Amino acid sequence: MHWPDQHPRHDQTPYLDKLNDAQKEAVLNTEGPVMIIAGAGSGKTRVLTVRMAHLIHSGADPFSILALTFTNKAAREMRNRIENLVGPAAKSLWMGTFHSVFARILRLEADRLGYPKNFTIYDTDDSKSLIKSITKELGLDDKVYKPSLVLGRISMCKNNLIDSRSYSENEENLLQDKNANRNKFYQIFQVYTERCFRAGAMDFDDILVNTYKLLRDHIDICNKWQHKFRFIMVDEYQDTNHVQYMITKRLAAVHQNIAVVGDDAQSIYAFRGANIQNILNFSKDYPDVKVFKLEQNYRSTKNIVSAAGSLIKHNKKQLDKEVWTQNDTGEKIRVVRSITEAEEARFVAQSIFEEKNTAHYPNKAFAVLYRTNSQSRAFEEAMRKNGIDYRIYGGTSFYQRKEIKDLLAYLRLVINPGDEEALKRIINYPARQIGDTTVNKLVFLATQSSRTIWEIVANARRFPELGTAAVRVENFAMMVQGFMGMAKTHNAYDLAMHIARQTTLLKTLYDDKTVEGVSRYENTVELLNGIKEFTEDDESEVEKSLANFLEEVALYTDDPKNNDPNRDCVSLMTIHQAKGLEFPHVYVVGLEENLFPSQMALTSRQDLEEERRLFYVAITRAEKKLNLTFATSRFRYGNLMPCEPSRFIEEIDNEFLDMNLAGLKNEGMFQRFNGPSNGDKDRGKPKTGSVLKQIQKTTSASLPPVDPNFQEGDLGALKVGDKVQHQRFGFGMVKEMEGDGSNKKATVTFEALGEKKLVLKFAKMRIV
């Protein structure tokens, strides 16, 4: 079906002029199923935003356009771009994360599922707390049934539309649990589901599951939303899980104007339930799909783009595409070997320091990417020692800090008194002599009578089991009821400030004059400032109610301080957190077997291919310069253990690598990389030798076993130009001397390892 003026004149669509031919085709084909395969740095966001702007410009009702993203940041960026193209109409788009859009739908329809309209959204900490309580009530060992593990398994079940009943009826599931010594998991799952429902609460997975149930079980509601959303677009489709796939497929069933955008080579979230088959099998779901490939990379140099391509070709399961670029060739990718992780970190910090001073780059031009969070420690220390400002990207969120969650719990309880996690969090904070024993009695009484804890709290004097604590509990209830009454007549800020003062929460924090106490008080004041800004935001059409503010907080995952664009600092982050970002200079560190690829990924091709895609994502974050580093030894469990270089280094075609700093230029071992070439006739032929074997060879050659008979010499007469032998580093030449007495240092250039600075009183070295 067409709408008026579907194909406006070209002079009315200047936004099309900035698109290449492939991008333009993806924008103009707006009817029927469309799959846009977007290679790294290929202008995916531009295509999505221009496509929506073109729909609106061509006469489509913006209220009929649904755009689903995975982050609030992506949604905000796209909405701003669309608004620049078509004006205020962009405000009417149904655009946001899966969770925020579906929570919006559930606010309108939740009563059909038996939930209150003001249902609470439980975050991860709330869910873990509830699971911990349930485990205790069932008399189970919380060391076996760890809340994080239990919640993770519940989440995976929900993402695959497996509820507690069907789980308990599956013999294979029960057998797995029995073998894992968690045969009561299904009971926790069942009670958790019941308690969330009774509390009028949904966790993040429930938002998706309940949206699907709404569409599956209520034909009238399904029909309503199917006809409302005439055009559906899904960003990062390769990251969708089963329930997200089922919801979007059902919503698109009537009009089938669904456009998915993604890159199978960047599918890295299987641990969260993402199913790469959703994008690989899209053409099977929609046989008449039109496929558009965005293959031109605008971000990186030719060497970086080609290196990434040579790596990812080792994956068996992937969509066919050939990413290319017209950018400069750029420098080769440096591969750097270090002896330990500390030396690796020092190299990275010193390299950044030198690049900053010689090329005058700001700190924010650099990123250090690692496989696991635990790797950050050494780099943080090295950055501090070199005076380089840095941030841990994706660190503790502002809204996850204890003092913030305490005040938010009061606000949540005012909106939804059935929210038992909020109630338990603050019933005795600040202290009001309602201890754990009383709280446990409240939970028991609620469970026994199938009531909410709040119903017991509000009628505490009717329960003699509470003893003398009943008066204190009921006083707490009366205070909260006063807040509830105030919520009907006051805006979110006035209510929040009143609660912060009346509960003495602000005073308690203010009285703590320790460094941590001052910080907690300042954070709480900042939260109140944020609520104030929310209530005074004239541009937002959202009602300034406390419920709406809490919904935004629950769905908001970005740390505002960490994402301050004005803060000039080096970014340290896991590769998973780096997805979607780009930097002029990137250091991918810890490229060692059992670390990257992870030891847990070495048992199946599927897991190993995901690790390779993760490395592909890391490489393609770099715009101009890329360094790959590894250590030949690393501390594990308190011991210094030998490490092997990652197989992924070997999988990159050697013509794109500079192996000098990996020690491969010595003793003729660099021949494979800069030896004579026979031209194009050798292209495509297998190369002789192995990068991995060469690295391992030089590692063992330049680091022989320590000789127990090695005798250190007197270094008192050491001077520039002397040849020395180190017990571990081998032979070298003294390049520079500095310091006096016990602080005397020598800079030595070793044949195999390059330059090292040694404190003489500790150096296991002799003059040759």
Catalytically annotated residues: 44-45, 235-236, 266, 621
Sorted by sequence, the CB contacts under 8 Å of residue 684 that are 6+ apart come out as none
Concatenated DSSP letters of 403-461:
HHHHHHHHHHHHH-TT-HHHHHHHTTSS--S--HHHHHHHHHHHHHHT--HHHHHHTGG
**Token pair for 603:** 């048992």
Q: Report whether 631 contacts 590 (CB < 8 A).
A: yes
According to DSSP, the residues that pair with 333 across neighbouring strands are: 657
Q: Which of 529, 547, 538 is nearest to 493 (CA)?
A: 529
Interstrand relation of 583-588 and 622-631 (parallel, antiparallel or unpaired): parallel
Task: Determine which helix (DSSP H) or strand (DSSP E) holds 759, and give its type and residue range.
Answer: strand 754-759
Q: Report whether 153 contacts 187 (CB < 8 A).
A: no
Gap between the Cα atoms of 363 and 117, Å rounded: 47
Q: At what angle do helices 204-217 and 98-109 cross, to 10 degrees?
A: 50
* CA end-to-end distance (rounded Å), the chain: 87
Q: CA geometry: angle at 28 spanning 22 and 29, to 5°?
A: 90
In eight-state DSSP terms, residue 332 is P
| Side-chain half-sphere CA neighbours of 318 within 13 A | 21
Residue 430: asked if its preceding bond is cis (omega within 30°), the reply is yes
Q: Report whether 151 contacts 122 (CB < 8 A).
A: no
In eight-state DSSP terms, residue 714 is P
**Token pair for 257:** 């104007």
Gap between the Cα atoms of 203 and 701, Å rounded: 56
**Token pair for 301:** 């140099």
Gap between the Cα atoms of 344 and 336, Å rounded: 8
The amino acid at residue 144 is V
Q: At what angle do helices 147-159 and 242-251 cross, to 10 degrees?
A: 30
**Token pair for 247:** 């919801």
Q: Which residue has the tokens 């603050």?
A: 426
Cα 49 off chain centre by: 23
Gap between the Cα atoms of 753 and 665, Å rounded: 11
- Radius of gyration over alpha carbons of the chain, in Å? 30
CA distances from 327 to 45, 355, 502 (A): 19, 21, 61
**Token pair for 216:** 């599956």
Torsion of CA 154, 155, 159, 160, to 10 degrees: -30
In eight-state DSSP terms, residue 296 is B
Gap between the Cα atoms of 10 and 21, Å rounded: 14
Q: Report whether 333 contacts 591 (CB < 8 A).
A: no
3-state secondary structure of 265: helix
Q: Which residue has the tokens 């349930």?
A: 134
Interstrand relation of 258-262 and 34-38 (parallel, antiparallel or unpaired): parallel
Other CB atoms within a 10 A radius of the CB of residue 287 amount to 7
3-state secondary structure of 588: strand
Concatenated DSSP letters of 352-402:
HHHHHHHH---GGGEEEEESSGGGHHHHHHHHHHTT--EEETT-S-GGGSH
